[in-house]
């Protein structure tokens, strides 16, 4: 189910990113310290009072040009209005109400979206009275906070969650594979959707998705039911959106959250660019099954080595997603299109695969026997047993004598051995270690 979306809006230097980082804290999806994972954050996940949500730091959106600061905050406000269920409007207690604050306030006020004003830098009791000036902007909910000291964040989130919508996702059976297509603009996502649907000659029905205007397109092929997840807003055009590269990342996140399988679409003619890593990184961190789809393969000049060389480039650029298969095709000519859905089926099965504990432990025991854990200051990690505790993605816990002795390189070795034994093609694996005493 898609999470409610919060956006943090405000002029520069009011502390948006600090508050963003405090809110996501350690609730952010597990980020592996592997090469190639982008660290340029725009979108995170948090939780308050058992309510999970996604949160956007619009401070990551920058616009250049005349009066670029004012233009930037305007764009941030417009994107927040478009994307968010609730908006946190951040202002600075020290500076008071500025012209930029007033302009953003008017945009947000007209939007009729729920807005909670967070007055940052209320670092002491003397400054607490400074928040009252901000009631002049016309919003009823004002919360004083301090990013520096971390105070008031709970009060802020308590106010924000009151405005979360009653989001009702479509209920699909477990036999339905939910597929999201992500990628930067102009890689051919829409053409690929049309090609898939046209190829199968199915009856297509558009039904309203979540409260954020998701469009779900169900279809069926060879007895397997699928849903292609898209967002209506991705079809909108305009300078605001075309000038903000990261906007497409925000769009993609909604589809990623609801998907089982994510197709990372890459332009075969243009090649790989940095933004491809952004969208793929979010799919990886969300724990979704993934397939790299190299589109426009019909226009690529190639010989017998070209496909292998392009796949190697993908492996070099996406070191954190070595598990994801690669499919080369052309949405325009439908060349190799028939290969896509069988791969989607394979990675979806792997994403939902559950391994019996005794079988898993046989594999782990063999792996340890072949290559025992290295010693650390005379101590060696002992794996008592392993068990899979979740699927989508498969999540395994190793109960050990001391979790601190699990070195990253040895965890990667176990990951490789488990994949070699069971496949798990196309899905990330989540591996955790706990002391055996924590079992109970």
* 228 CB-contact burial (10 Å; exposed 0-12 / middle 13-18 / buried 19+): buried
Task: Please state, as a whole number, how many other Cβ atoms lie within 10 Å of the Cβ of residue 136.
Answer: 11
What are the backbone dihedrals phi and psi of residue 125, each rounded to the nearest 5 degrees, phi first?
-65, -35
Separation of CA 253 from chain center: 5
Residue 13 annotated as binding site: yes
Residue 415 annotated as binding site: no
CA–CA gap between residue 179 and residue 345 (Å, rounded)? 10
Residue 12 annotated as binding site: yes
Following DSSP, what letter does each residue of 345-379 receive, concatenated?
A: HHHHHHHT----HHHHHHHHHHHHHHSPPPEETTE
Residue 48 annotated as binding site: no
Residue 302 annotated as binding site: no
Cis peptide before 173 (omega within 30 of 0): no
Residue 14 annotated as binding site: yes
* 311 CB-contact burial (10 Å; exposed 0-12 / middle 13-18 / buried 19+): middle
Residue 35 annotated as binding site: no
Residue 138 annotated as binding site: no
Residue 122 annotated as binding site: yes
Residue 295 annotated as binding site: yes
Residue 120 annotated as binding site: yes
Residue 101 annotated as binding site: no
Q: State whether residue 212 is helix, strand or coil.
A: coil
Residue 330 annotated as binding site: no
Residue 184 annotated as binding site: yes
Residue 281 annotated as binding site: no
Residue 130 annotated as binding site: no
Task: Please state, as a whole number, how many other Cβ atoms lie within 10 Å of the Cβ of residue 297.
Answer: 22
CA–CA gap between residue 63 and residue 208 (Å, rounded)? 33
H or E element at residue 157:
helix 153-161
Residue 189 annotated as binding site: yes
Residue 123 annotated as binding site: yes
Residue 183 annotated as binding site: yes
Residue 277 annotated as binding site: no
Task: Let me know: does 171 contact 190? Beta carbons within 8 Å.
Answer: no
H or E element at residue 76:
helix 68-83
* 319 CB-contact burial (10 Å; exposed 0-12 / middle 13-18 / buried 19+): exposed
Q: State whether residue 191 is helix, strand or coil.
A: helix
CA–CA gap between residue 82 and residue 76 (Å, rounded)? 10
Residue 198 annotated as binding site: no
Q: Which two tokens stand for residue 183?
A: 């990628």
Residue 322 annotated as binding site: no
Residue 296 annotated as binding site: yes
Residues in the chain: 440
Annotated binding site for GTP: 10-17, 57-61, 120-123, 183-190, 230-234, 295-298
Annotated binding site: 10-17, 57-61, 120-123, 183-190, 230-234, 295-298
């Amino acid at each position: 189910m898609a999470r409610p979306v919060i956006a943090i809006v405000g002029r520069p230097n009011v502390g948006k990113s600090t508050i963003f980082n405090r809110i996501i804290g350690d609730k952010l999806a597990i980020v592996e310290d592997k090469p190639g994972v982008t660290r340029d954050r725009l979108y995170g996940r948090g939780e308050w009072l058992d309510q999970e949500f996604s949160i956007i730091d619009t401070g990551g959106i920058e616009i250049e040009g005349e009066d670029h600061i004012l233009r930037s905050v305007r764009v941030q406000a417009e994107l927040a209005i478009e994307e968010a269920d609730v908006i946190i409007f951040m202002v600075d207690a020290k500076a008071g109400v500025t012209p930029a604050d007033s302009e953003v306030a008017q945009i947000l006020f007209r939007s009729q979206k729920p807005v909670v004003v967070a007055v940052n830098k209320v670092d002491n009791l003397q400054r607490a009275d400074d928040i009252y000036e901000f009631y002049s902007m016309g919003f009823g909910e004002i919360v004083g906070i301090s990013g520096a000291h971390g105070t008031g964040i709970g009060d802020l989130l308590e106010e924000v969650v009151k405005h979360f919508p009653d989001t009702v996702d479509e209920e699909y059976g477990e036999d339905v594979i939910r597929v999201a297509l992500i990628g930067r603009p102009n890689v051919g996502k829409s053409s690929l959707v049309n090609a898939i649907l046209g190829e199968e000659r199915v009856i297509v029905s558009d039904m309203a998705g979540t409260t954020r205007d998701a469009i779900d397109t169900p279809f069926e092929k060879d007895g397997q039911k699928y849903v292609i997840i898209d967002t209506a807003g991705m079809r909108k055009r305009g300078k605001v959106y075309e000038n903000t590269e990261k906007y497409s990342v925000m769009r993609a996140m909604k589809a990623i959250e609801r998907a089982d399988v994510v197709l990372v679409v890459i332009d075969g003619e243009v090649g790989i660019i940095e933004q491809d890593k952004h969208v793929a990184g979010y799919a990886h961190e969300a724990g979704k099954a993934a397939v790299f789809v190299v589109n426009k393969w019909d226009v690529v000049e190639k010989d017998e080595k070209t496909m292998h060389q392009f796949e190697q480039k993908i492996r070099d650029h996406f070191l954190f997603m070595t598990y994801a298969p690669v499919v080369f095709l052309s949405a325009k000519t439908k060349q190799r299109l028939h290969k896509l859905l069988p791969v989607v089926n394979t990675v979806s099965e792997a994403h939902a695969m559950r391994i019996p504990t005794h079988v898993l432990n046989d594999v782990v025991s063999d792996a340890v026997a072949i290559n025992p854990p290295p010693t650390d200051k005379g101590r060696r990690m002992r794996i008592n047993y392993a068990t899979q505790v979740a699927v989508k993605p498969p999540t395994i816990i190793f109960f050990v004598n001391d979790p601190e002795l699990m070195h990253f390189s040895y965890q990667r070795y176990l990951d490789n051995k488990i994949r070699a034994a069971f496949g798990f093609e196309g899905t990330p694996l989540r591996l955790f270690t706990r002391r055996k005493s924590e079992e109970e």
